[in-house]
Amino acid sequence: MTLEKINDPREIRQWPGHMETDYIYTLGVAGERFFQEIKKNGKIMGAKCKRCGIVYVPPRMYCERCFEKLGEWVNVGNKGTVFTYTVAHIDLNGAKLKEPTIYAMIKIDGADGGLVHKLGEIEPEKVRIGMRVEAVFKPKDKREGSINDIRYFKRVK
Amino acid sequence: MSEEVAIVGIGCTGFKSITPDISYKELMFEAATRAYQDAGNINPRKDVDAFVTCAEDYWEGHSIFDEFVPDQIGAALRHLFTVSSDGMIGLATAFMLIKTGEFNTVVVEAHSKVSDVTTFTGIVNFALDPIFNRPLGGHPHYMAGLEMTRFLHETENTREQCAQVVVKNRRNALSNPYAAHGAQLTVEDVLQSEPYFQPLNRLDISPVADGGIVMVLASEKAAKKLTDKPVWIRGIGWNSDTSWPESREWGRAMYTELAAQMAYKMAGIRNPKKDVCFAEIDDSFSYKELQHLEALKLCSNDEAGKLTEEGETEIYGDLPVNASGGIQGIGYAIEASGLHRVLETVLQLRGEAGKHQICDAKTGVAQIWRGVPTATGAVAVLSREVK
Amino acid sequence: MSRKKSEECTYAGTEIKSEDIKQGKVLTLRDRPKAKYLWSTGVAMGRFLKELKNGKIAATTCNKCGRIMVPPRMFCEQCFKPTDGWTYVKDTGTINTYSVSFIAGDASRIKEPIIVIVVDLDGASPGMGILHTMSEIDWKKVKFGMKVKAVWKPEKERAGAITDIKYFKPA
Amino acid sequence: MFGKKRVAVVGAGLTLFRRNMKETGREMCYEAAKMALDQAGLTLKDMESVAYGSAPDAFDGIHMKGENMTDGSGAWRKPFSRVYVGGGTGVFTADAGWWHVASGLFDTCLVVAEEKMSSCYPHPAYAFTTIFDPIMDRPHGTTLIWIFSLEMHRYMHVHGVKKEQIALVSVKNKRNALDHPCAQLGAKITVEDVLNSEIMCWPVQRLDISPTSDGAAAIVLASEDVAKKITDNPVWIDGVGWCIDSTYWTNRDLYYPDYVECAARMAYKMAGIKNPPKEIDVAEPYDPFDYKELHHMEGLLLCKKGEAPKLTQEGVTQRDGDLPINPSGGLLGVGNPIAAAGLMKVCEIFWQLRGEAGKRQVPGDPRTGVAQAWGDLMQYGSVIVMRR
């Protein structure tokens, strides 16, 4: 314990600072391929481990379970199932959103994983686990190689 | 022949929602002073073989926070290092050091000066994967909302039972002088608080707090010289599930199941329900207490909510859980959260928990999760008895 | 599985050039964290900063080892005990070491070099220095052991910061 | 069940060290870890625990970056922890691997160190501006090179060391690196080249400094029982040591690294080394700047204080000299992805002691080697002693 303490609230002071700068991330060996396919062809691709039989979406360059290098790419299609979801009402700063955002973990057909993304064209109350959904892509000329090239997933009619 | 490992000294500043009158160094100095005195008045300049500190840079606002630790805990020109993880993994590290036989006395430090951070969620957000998750935007705690939905879907636990966790823990915190967020609430209060990440409401999410903890660990031989009330680390485990949220189970806390397996095996515990008297576990989001109880095998699957509703996890129940007030009642103390679970377990085992003392506490379990977006956790089995 | 010798291994990895990133030959994502802080200055640094505003350099003392410490702290790291009191040290001192910087924090080049010094302050225990800059001298004329003196900002401009001392100059 | 166990290194792996790599951090971790496992003849299943090391999150641009890289480091559903002691991290990660196995908790441990500095834009140097005390140091616009040039200058002043002597380190290490398959900056340069290179922060010039890099390194550790089953020539970790000095770096005399000596003494005591210059055959001290190699040779007690420049001039530290120092090419030549560069030094000692260093092999059948790294505010020493 320090022998001296602050008793006078006017002595309390804060010193400001930050750790903010820009970052540029490369998408990696697997990420580059995955996002090029989305950007150019509007396709969701998985990477298959021949040893474990797992089809990874998002794809990896290696199997996290057995460390095989993954070379086999599989077109898993753009459809899947809502595995879980949540309705967010506040933004990053804690302010109330005008329209809530629906986030979901979507199990992609033919893959062992899926994507964490948003749901669109649906009211929050109508979302159910197990609901069939498909990816809605931005128009090709607006796509830039990002997870946001998929605008959201919508219910399969 | 290897020795058992005991916790022989604990020091804690207590927790507050803000500590504007002291610097993080002064906070740590207080915790250290208390711990060394508690450990038989040891002198850290001579009597400690190694020091472990637990911190992450962005929580502190300093790159290489390791630099700013030694002086205030007596470790200048001594054998200190940082584990970038929760304090409970720091505890596991100290445990390993003593088990090598090369170290007799090891100190573990963890703290929260989270009130120095003015962009808490910005920093949580910066932990998301920069390629697959972060560009989606929004408040990163939606990850917990996703998990809660799946947990409630897969198990028979209910939304109301999650709220009951908050009610219990914040009430327990009223009996704990260390706690920053004690309160009398009802299940209705929790259910009617603003929806944040449905089904998570505002009151399901633990508030944050500042505080510092230092602990002294010793080998069996050293422990007997330093204290007459050692608490033994009978088993310890830690584990990380896949770092990809997309590949996780969502409903289950695999990291805790696996960490518990490791800790129980080490402790020789075959039937945790029978052998464990009480638990101090991660409840940083309400549902987490139920999910973790089941992962710890302290109850059957689907049973955690029911036990909570029936009062079995209250201080007077058959399996008191977070009698201290938990993270909900004490406050989320970033990397000190796990070490504080351990500290509260030690207080119970020593019979020094005061108003929230559990009767006849012999063996307790402490557990922690590193929070969104991680799948890392740790489990420690502590006991008054060496074997 | 058979063992591979180091000579037989491929050292993996794919090099890319900075231009590849600039020209968009590889996909990239940009981001910037929100990471702001207001650190509590606490007892020791709070008092230190307040004294700087008054044009004084405050230090703490330890009765056990007898040291006078600056920057001040509320604990003696050598004795591991609370420090006992406060004193002032002088705003003059001796150059312990120095360097001359031609680059800024982002690695860009600057025109006027900055003379960086560690100055052991008079009145503090031996070797108790602080980091600061030096001016009013050609950098080629700076010497180890040189006596220097603080040049303070006018009182009105002082904010309670280490930069309330503008720089040190030859004494 | 427990008890101190002898720990062996049975495999090592490295990625290329380059200014920019396409791989993400976790992908680089995978490449290094996979190579280390292949070299050991083991698979991921054989690994019971993972020790990971990396320097500031502010390089990779991910808060809690260890958690992002568990999968690439081979820690899927395994005990994983990250140690972090600034620039000292790389060698220290191997120390951390040691206690995982020596404690008896695990029979094997995969040790991985990684750094992706290129993510930090426009220059990784930004990350270093936040390593300083916000009240005392940051307001001056303090950079990393400022403080190291202060240390270099103090060292030169106290011992009367000349820039020409220090430049020899850069010349030697960059040439050694020509033989390293991962090297970023192997080159034939002269002392004049160093002295004529751009002044960054006097007395530090461009060619006194190692580059910024992306890269990863890994080693596989096994207990004695396991090691003896899988290899005839394990390399033992016989001593580990670490030490941190006071935060208040302007209160210390920077001419000598007390903390390196303290760490070295800890490791030597554990390894039973009484006369380091005689007993150590090859050393990889940390050399992010050329003067640091000299500074650290002294801290490691490989020579007397102030004597390292003379030994360098006499050629003692050349690959074929009496005490080869940084035969890998060091950070100056191979590159400096901070934590990975430290672990690269441990890999090098492993290969040297096994006689597998190829063109870099030091003659004379070395039996004992030491690697060391340095970090924080000129404050941290981490040391490992290895024996065949």
Residue B264 lies in a domain: no
Residue D216 lies in a domain: yes
pLDDT at residue D318 tops 50: yes
Q: Which positions 270-309 of D are in contact with B (Cβ < 8 Å)?
A: 270
- Bridge partners (DSSP) of residue D342 are none
> Tens digits of per-residue pLDDT, A58-84?
999 999 999 999 999 999 999 999 999
Gap between the Cα atoms of B73 and B9, Å rounded: 14
> Tens digits of per-residue pLDDT, B266-284?
999 999 999 999 999 999 9
On chain A, the residues whose CB falls within 8 A of the CB of B26 are 2
Q: What's the burial of C138, exposed, middle or buried (CB within 10 Å: 0-12/13-18/19+)?
A: exposed
Our CA-based measurement puts residue A121 at a distance from the nearest CA of chain D, in whole angstroms, of 32
Q: Which positions 29-48 of A are in contact with B (Cβ < 8 Å)?
A: 31
Gap between the Cα atoms of D317 and D332, Å rounded: 15
Gap between the Cα atoms of D14 and D117, Å rounded: 16
Residue D262 lies in a domain: yes
Tokens of D271: 């390894």
On chain A, the residues whose CB falls within 8 A of the CB of D30 are 61-62, 67
- Interval D84-91 mean pLDDT: 98
Domain that holds residue B213: 5-118+208-226
E strands within chain B? 5-12, 50-54, 80-83, 105-112, 195-198, 200-201, 211-219, 231-240, 278-280, 363-369, 376-383
Letter string b/e over residues D365-388, b meaning 16 or more CB atoms within 10 A of that residue's CB: ebebbbbbbbbbbbbbbbbbbbbb
Tokens of C71: 């920057």
pLDDT at residue B66 tops 70: yes
- Beta strands B200-201 and A132-137 are unpaired
Q: Which residues of C touch B (CB under 8 A)?
A: 29, 31, 33-45, 73-75, 77-80, 82
- What is the reported pLDDT for C2? 62
pLDDT at residue D2 tops 60: no
Q: Which positions 174-203 of D are in contact with B (Cβ < 8 Å)?
A: none
Gap between the Cα atoms of B351 and B356, Å rounded: 10
- Find the residue in C nearest to A144 (Cα): C27
- For the entire predicted model, the pTM comes to 0.98
> Tens digits of per-residue pLDDT, C112-121?
999 999 999 9
Matching residue, tokens 């029982």: D225
Domain that holds residue A72: 26-155
Are C86 and C61 contacting, i.e. CB atoms less than 8 angstroms apart?
yes
Number of other CB atoms surrounding residue B274 within 10 Å: 8
Residues contacting C125, CB < 8 A, separation 6+: C66, C67, C68, C69
Residue D324 pLDDT grade (very low, low, confident, very high; cuts 50, 70, 90): very high
C126-C132-C138-C142 Cα dihedral, nearest 10 degrees: 20
- Low-confidence stretches of chain C (pLDDT < 70) are 1-2, 105
pLDDT at residue D378 tops 50: yes
User: Which residue in the set A5, A20, A35 is minimally distant from C27, CB to CB?
Assistant: A35
Q: Is B298 helix (H, G, I), strand (E, B) or coil?
A: coil
On chain D, the residues whose CB falls within 8 A of the CB of B255 are 77
Q: Which positions 126-145 of B are in contact with A (Cβ < 8 Å)?
A: 130-133, 135-140, 142-143, 145
Residue B28 pLDDT grade (very low, low, confident, very high; cuts 50, 70, 90): very high
- Beta strands B278-280 and B363-369 are parallel
Residue D138 lies in a domain: no
Cα angle value B252/B256/B261 (rounded, 5°): 115
Contact (CB<8Å) D143/C101? yes
Contact (CB<8Å) C40/B24? yes
Tokens of A48: 């298959």
Contact (CB<8Å) A24/D127? no
- Find the residue in C nearest to D139 (Cα): C163
Residue D14 pLDDT grade (very low, low, confident, very high; cuts 50, 70, 90): very high
3-state secondary structure D298-358: HHCCCCCCCCHHHHHHCCCCCCCCCCCECCCCHHHHHCCCHHHHHHHHHHHHHHHHHCCCH
- What is the reported pLDDT for B1? 40
Are C56 and A52 contacting, i.e. CB atoms less than 8 angstroms apart?
no
Give the closest residue to D19 by CA, choosing from D217, D288, D213.
Answer: D213
- Interval B12-17 mean pLDDT: 98
Tokens of D14: 């490295």
Q: Where are the domains of chain C?
A: 42-170
- What separation, in Å, do the N-terminal and C-terminal C-alpha atoms of chain C show? 72
E strands within C21-170? 28-31, 36-40, 57-61, 68-69, 75-76, 81-82, 85-89, 92-103, 109-121, 129-134, 147-152, 165-170
Residue A70, by phi and psi: left (phi above 0), alpha (psi -120 to 50) or beta? beta
Q: Phi, psi (5° rounding) for residue A92?
A: -55, -35
On chain A, the residues whose CB falls within 8 A of the CB of C27 are 26-27, 31-32, 35-36, 39, 145
User: Which residue in the set C13, C41, C103 is minimally distant from D23, CB to CB?
Assistant: C13
Cα angle value A106/A112/A114 (rounded, 5°): 25
Our CA-based measurement puts residue B276 at a distance from the nearest CA of chain A, in whole angstroms, of 33
Domain that holds residue D109: 7-121+211-387
> Tens digits of per-residue pLDDT, A2-36?
999 999 999 999 999 999 999 999 999 999 999 99
- What is the reported pLDDT for D4? 66
On chain B, the residues whose CB falls within 8 A of the CB of C45 are 23
Residue B262 lies in a domain: no
Contact (CB<8Å) D27/A61? yes
Give the closest residue to D134 by CA, choosing from C134, B21, C107, C45.
Answer: C45
Gap between the Cα atoms of B333 and B117, Å rounded: 12
- Interval B126-146 mean pLDDT: 98
- What separation, in Å, do the N-terminal and C-terminal C-alpha atoms of chain B show? 15
Give the closest residue to D240 by CA, choosing from D99, D107, D36, D109.
Answer: D99
- Interval A117-136 mean pLDDT: 98
pLDDT at residue D3 tops 70: no
- Chains A and B form CB pairs within 8 A to the count of 131
Residue B99 lies in a domain: yes
Our CA-based measurement puts residue C122 at a distance from the nearest CA of chain D, in whole angstroms, of 13
DSSP states of B73-132 as a string?
A: GT-TTB-EEEESS-HHHHHHHHHHHHHTTS-SEEEEEEEE-GGGBS-HHHHHHTTS-TTT
Are D113 and D218 contacting, i.e. CB atoms less than 8 angstroms apart?
yes
Residues contacting B34, CB < 8 A, separation 6+: A1, B10, B11, B12, B13, B214
Report the domain count for chain B: 1
pLDDT at residue B262 tops 70: yes
Note whether D91 contacts C: Cβ–Cβ < 8 A. Answer: no
Residue D169 lies in a domain: no
Gap between the Cα atoms of B17 and C99, Å rounded: 43
Gap between the Cα atoms of D120 and B57, Å rounded: 15
Contact (CB<8Å) D62/B127? yes
Half-sphere exposure (Cβ direction) of C59: Cα atoms closer than 13 Å? 23
Note whether A118 contacts B: Cβ–Cβ < 8 A. Answer: yes
User: Which residue in the set D26, D72, D126 is minimally distant from A21, CB to CB?
Assistant: D126
Instruction: State the angle between helix axes of D163-177 and D290-299 in degrees (0 to 180), rounded to the nearest 10.
Output: 100
Neighbouring chains to B with at least 3 Cβ pairs closer than 8 Å: A, C, D
User: Which residue in the set A15, A24, A64 is minimally distant from D121, CB to CB?
Assistant: A24
Q: CATH number, domain at A136? A: 2.40.50.140
Note whether D141 contacts A: Cβ–Cβ < 8 A. Answer: no
Give me the percent of chain D exceeding a pLDDT of 90: 97
Tokens of B89: 């993994």
- Beta strands A45-48 and A55-56 are antiparallel
> Tens digits of per-residue pLDDT, D186-207?
999 999 999 999 999 999 999 9
Give the closest residue to D185 by CA, choosing from D309, D351, D333, D41.
Answer: D333
Contact (CB<8Å) C33/B113? no
Cα angle value D245/D100/B236 (rounded, 5°): 105
Mean pLDDT, rounded, of chain B = 97
Our CA-based measurement puts residue B286 at a distance from the nearest CA of chain D, in whole angstroms, of 23
User: Which residue in the set D58, D76, D135 is minimally distant from A64, CB to CB?
Assistant: D76
- What is the reported pLDDT for C10? 74
- The answer, yes or no, to whether the previous bond of B140 is cis (omega within 30 of 0) is no
Q: Which positions 62-91 of C are in contact with A (Cβ < 8 Å)?
A: 74-75, 82-84
Contact (CB<8Å) C45/D135? yes
Contact (CB<8Å) D58/A21? yes
Residue B9 lies in a domain: yes
Q: Phi, psi (5° rounding) for residue B195?
A: -70, 130
Contact (CB<8Å) D34/A28? no
Q: Is D135 helix (H, G, I), strand (E, B) or coil?
A: coil
Matching residue, tokens 């830690």: B238
Contact (CB<8Å) D23/A29? yes
Residue B315 lies in a domain: no
DSSP states of D238-303 as a string?
A: EEEEEEE--S-GGGS-TTS-HHHHHHHHHHHHHHT-S-HHHH--EEE---SBHHHHHHHHHHTTSS
pLDDT at residue D50 tops 80: yes
Q: Is A137 helix (H, G, I), strand (E, B) or coil?
A: strand
Q: CATH number, domain at B76? A: 3.40.47.10
Q: What's the burial of C36, exposed, middle or buried (CB within 10 Å: 0-12/13-18/19+)?
A: middle
Contact (CB<8Å) D41/C2? yes
Tokens of A43: 């396709």
Our CA-based measurement puts residue B300 at a distance from the nearest CA of chain A, in whole angstroms, of 23
- The answer, yes or no, to whether the previous bond of D79 is cis (omega within 30 of 0) is no
> Tens digits of per-residue pLDDT, A97-109?
999 999 999 999 9
Gap between the Cα atoms of B279 and B292, Å rounded: 10
On chain C, the residues whose CB falls within 8 A of the CB of A13 are 40-41, 46, 49-50, 160
Gap between the Cα atoms of B305 and B315, Å rounded: 16
Q: CATH number, domain at D58? A: 3.40.47.10
Report the domain count for chain A: 1
Are B230 and B6 contacting, i.e. CB atoms less than 8 angstroms apart?
yes
